[in-house]
Amino acid sequence: MLFPERVESLRMKHETLDNEVRVESRRPLPDATVLKKLKLEKLRVKEEIDRLARA
């Protein structure tokens, strides 16, 4: 995958994860484990975007 395509793919994944976090958070009884996993994955993706931006 080319560099710009990789960054765009990661941005889309980050946005998807953000939406999933929002949906889970709004449930009457949000699952803390699911939220933690989603947030960790979102952070990992953001760090990868930042790393690629500096390259």
> What is the pTM assigned to this prediction?
0.90
d(CA 28, CA 20): 15
Domain boundaries, the chain: 3-54
- pLDDT single digits (tens) 7-48: 999 999 999 999 999 999 999 999 999 999 999 999 999 999
Whether the Cβ atoms of residue 21 and residue 42 lie closer than 8 Å to each other: yes
d(CA 34, CA 37): 5
Nearest CA among 17, 19, 23 for reference residue 42: 17
